[in-house]
Chain A
Amino acid sequence: MVKKNISKGARGFSISFLPYSEIRGLDSTQRIRKILGIILKNNILIIQGRLEPEEEVRLIEDTMAMIGHVKNFRGIELAVISGNNNSGFFGKFRQNLVNTIAGGDIGVLTILGPATIVKEIKKDPRKIELFLKK
């Protein structure tokens, strides 16, 4: 895991990068535990790839269950951005083939952060803006 510390102007958190190879072999429970473990340490997390839809709702459920039980935890901000814009049969076929070989959609980035640090993640199809709390 690559970790980048932010020293100036934004004290108390860091940005972590999780390559897909680090979560490929994990089951859903292990993935969510790993993600929450990083976020609870006040890190903004960038994951190569994305979670399955069922994993995303489990992450929301677990997050909700933690609010009020973990001190100063108010939930998370989450966004997924895809660089792939394959349309048409052959484009989709090619993408599915690449995903199958890689074991997941690695052309996608998932950004997560604790709501106490990340105020909002604004997303349009092609860009993400991260607004931090002062």
Chain B
Amino acid sequence: MVAKKLRNFFKRILFGLFKQKKELKLGFYGPPNAGKTSLANRICKDFTGEEIGSVSKIPHETRAVQFKEKVEIQYKGRKMTFKIIDTPGIATKIDYENFLKFKMKKKDAQARAKEATQGVIESIKWLDDMDVVVVVLDATQNPYNQVNITILGNLLARKIPVLIIANKIDLRKSNIKGIEAAFPEYDVVGLSARYGKNMEEFYESIFKLAKRVQ
């Protein structure tokens, strides 16, 4: 009887230890050009010294899911290990002619559009694999875009904890309150991934979010 209780006690401790060390899959979702890769780069650079992918003013720069494993985020004495998953922006339309405005050759623009459509499909397929998700929105844009609502609706349906980021707060047009008003049931953190502004609140919120799945 005593031996059994002792065995269970140690089992629980060991289980707890391994459970804490689990690598959480942290996904970055959102519409194109919201700053998902910029934010993922900022985190990876802060804690691994390496970036995850390239960024560009031209939409759909990320056209395939890219990830970095074993990113140990340390904040205020706490540690947590994540697999950072940066996904291509989700859109309902992709027109190669939009890329021509960026002085891209027609052939390259068509190839980029084709890869971007595949990227959107890949992003959607990865939704089921996430433990926690950061939805990155451009705070200078209208938050009522249906893509935002569709992403959040799907994460809710899958019971995946979500944090909304109002990115680009360094820009005068940015409106965090607009995003908070559009999605009152979610936590919203305003930051500038480009300049690393307000990352402390972001890390604090990520730890809070991760606790919900641990």
Which A residues are within 8 Å of any B CB, using their own CB?
52-54, 56-57, 60-61, 63-65, 67-68, 74-80, 115, 121-125
Contacts and interface: CB of A to CB of B under 8 A. Distances in A.
A65 B121 contact: yes
B117 A76 contact: no
B146 A80 contact: yes
Contact of A123 (B93, B113, B146): B146
A76 B93 CA distance: 5
Nearest to B93: A75
Given A64-B121, A124-B144, A76 B92 contact: yes
A63 B92 contact: yes
Contacts of B146: 56, 78-80, 121, 123
Contact of A80 (B92, B142, B149): B149
B94 interface: yes
B124 A74 contact: no
B150 A68 contact: no
Nearest to B178: A124
Given A61-B120, A76-B93, 18 more contacts: A52-B157, A53-B150, A56-B153, A57-B127, A60-B120, A61-B124, A63-B92, A64-B94, A67-B94, A67-B114, A75-B93, A75-B94, A76-B92, A77-B92, A80-B149, A115-B95, A122-B142, A125-B182
Contacts of A76: 92-93
B92 A75 contact: yes
A68 B114 contact: yes
A74 B142 contact: no
A63 B92 CA distance: 7
Interface in B37-80: none
A39 to B, nearest CB: 11
B90 interface: yes
B154 interface: yes
Contact of B95 (A52, A60, A64, A74): A74
Contacts of A74: 93-95
Contact of A124 (B117, B142, B154): B142
- 6 nearest A-B residue pairs (beta carbon): A75-B93, A53-B153, A115-B93, A64-B117, A74-B95, A123-B144
A121 B120 CA distance: 20
Nearest to A62: B121
Nearest to B154: A53
Contacts of A124: 142, 144
A74 B182 CA distance: 28
B114 A54 contact: no
Given A53-B153, A56-B150, A57-B127, A67 B92 contact: no
